[in-house]
Amino acid sequence: MELDRFDKNILEILTHEDVNLNELSERVNLSVSSVHRRIKHLIDHQIISGLKRELNYQKLGFSLHVLLQVSLSKHDTDTFAKFLEELESIPEVINAFLVTGQSADFIVEVVARDMENYSEILLKKIGKIEHVVALHSSFVIKEYNVFNCSGLLNKV
């Protein structure tokens, strides 16, 4: 899909700000219906996955944000699928990445209310999933949004 300057401008704003359709329309100098059509086109072509809002987990009482490296004993499609299915049943798991080049197979993003809650998630839920052989936690101290969409979009 070819992106024009309006599409790039829409993507730049959406990746950095929480704006409604009317605000977005004014900022890119297009009608609301035109902006809506362009967003739908970007979603249909899987350039963006939608306009979901990000939750502020700390404001909801989840003070711990953890990147958990998980190693599995088997490395096949079925094992990975079953592992992901189990993760989906754990509400504190907010994301998962299959990775290579690490000592882990997955990096799992987890939020927890406190250390006791995290310990329960780790030992009674994730650690009990079949084929899990190693878990290594890294606690997020501070998150920085360094995504430079405009620089990336200039290369498209």
Model pLDDT, residue 148? 63
In this structure, what DSSP letter does residue 152 have? H
Q: Is the pTM of this model over 0.85?
A: no
What is the domain partition of the chain in residue ranges? 5-53, 57-139
CATH of 57-139, one of 3.40.1280.10, 3.90.1150.10, 3.30.70.920, 3.40.366.10: 3.30.70.920
| Domain 5-53 indexed as CATH 1.10.10.10 | yes
Model pLDDT, residue 101? 80
Quick one: which H or E segment has residue 143? none
In the three-class reduction of DSSP (H, G, I as helix; E, B as strand; rest coil), residue 12 is classed as helix
In angstroms, the first-to-last Cα distance of the chain is: 10
CA-CA-CA-CA torsion sign (52, 56, 60, 61): positive
Beta bridge partners of 112: 64
Give the whole-angstrom CA distance, residue 13 versus residue 87: 32
CA-to-CA dists, residue 75 to 28, 45, 48, 71, 72, angstroms: 47, 31, 30, 9, 7
Quick one: which H or E segment has residue 120? helix 115-120
pLDDT digits (tens, 9 = 90+) for 110-127: 999 999 999 999 999 999
pLDDT digits (tens, 9 = 90+) for 49-107: 877 667 889 999 999 999 999 999 999 999 999 999 999 999 999 999 999 987 899 99
